[in-house]
Structure 1
Amino acid sequence: MARKANTDSADGAANTGRLKQIALTYKMTRKADPKVGLVVAAVGIVTFGVFLAIGFLIDHPIYLGILGFLLAFLAMAIVFGRRAERAAYGQLEGQPGAAASVLQNIGRGWSFTPAVAMNRSQDVVHRAVGRAGIVLVAEGNPNRVKSLLAAEKKRMNRVVVDVPVHDVIVGNGEGQVSLKKLRTTLMKLPRVLTGPQVTSANDRLRAMGDLMSNMPLPKGPMPKGMRMPRGGKMR
């Protein structure tokens, strides 16, 4: 009995957590998309109404009504999810590190390393490794990030010469990939590597190090009154 009570309590807490998460997502979405509630409700009502009308026409209103209710709920969930995703991307658009936020949730089969290259203007290059090979994702000024991408490719060529390398510049200009299409773009790349090859490439890249791990940091506490230099170059 105690074990069952604990299970019921855990399930109740999980359900409460999901409801709170849905409510929070709705509030955040509504700020960017004030009509989301009306649109989602309209989709549910129209879907249910169509199935109920068909049910009356074929003399099965109860059966079609139940089916319509379930499909209406599903349609509402799909529409809400898409509008919430669009609102989230809209809030991230133009923010520093927006591409990193998307890449962190790219899904299984990918290994993500943020800020493998950066300059003083805070243009940055992230790295994702998967079955498609290595993808360098740059965000910042399009003219400046090209040199960052070229330098990072040259650095990687020392350790991974047999792995395809793709580069993506995040933005809304010509030849760039918008933030909302970034994940889809990576997922559509052809898969040319096996699992062991991906692991091997990751190991070699980690051995090479990245921007954060290569930065020389002094050991011990920072002396009092010491300030970080401004405008200094990262090596």
Structure 2
Amino acid sequence: MIDIKGITKSFGSLQVLKGIDLHIDKGEVVSIVGPSGAGKTTLLQIIGTLDKPDSGSIMVDGIDVSSLSTKKLSDFRNQHLGFVFQFHQLLPEFTALENIMIPAFIAGKSRKEAKERAEELLAFMGLSDRASHKPAELSGGEKQRVAVARALVNNPAVILADEPSGSLDTKNKAELHQLFFDLRDKFGQTFVIVTHDEGLASITDRTIHLKDGMIEKTVEAGAADNKEESADNNKEVSAEEPNSSIDCI
């Protein structure tokens, strides 16, 4: 699905990415975490063809994006990628339904086809009754769900999200996080999510830890839980058998 090999990127004398190798499978929900300045957003922008690496190669959905012209890159983004940002970026003069339909129009789809797809997504999001509302009439959680629907309207292979729940309260944040997995299960998209939210990172299929422009480690889903369970079991054994040679973690 996504194959990244030897990606480097510098801004002036500052090297932000220092040789990133990464493979992401179809249907995975992957989070990218790390301290500020680690290169998370830069990597996401390069995957999304919004920026070009200094060296290395990127294959997305079987296409070598580095070989595409500017026009073909624009078409590729519209057809294969969806973007979700921390702030919804909805156009205030259009309704929720119209905002969702815009990328479909850019892709050359008919109004009927775009409207049917947008209505399908609004129904899945539980927002059918908000279709005619403009952004100012929607709650923060509703706006972000409309933004997710907009990202999905062309049925892209990959959804790229940069701090998607950063501006939401706890309840809406939890609902949005669950939505990503529901969407993956229903529509089969791959999700790559840059986040500082430990709760979101902990439930993704895989967490990529970046530090100083390099992949520091990769944590598979459930690894942290298994470690905690092992620690708890060791503590129980120690409590029951004071003379046991098993060390507590």
Bigger strand share:
2
- Comparing both structures, which one devotes a greater share of its residues to helix? 1
Fold match by TM threshold 0.5: no
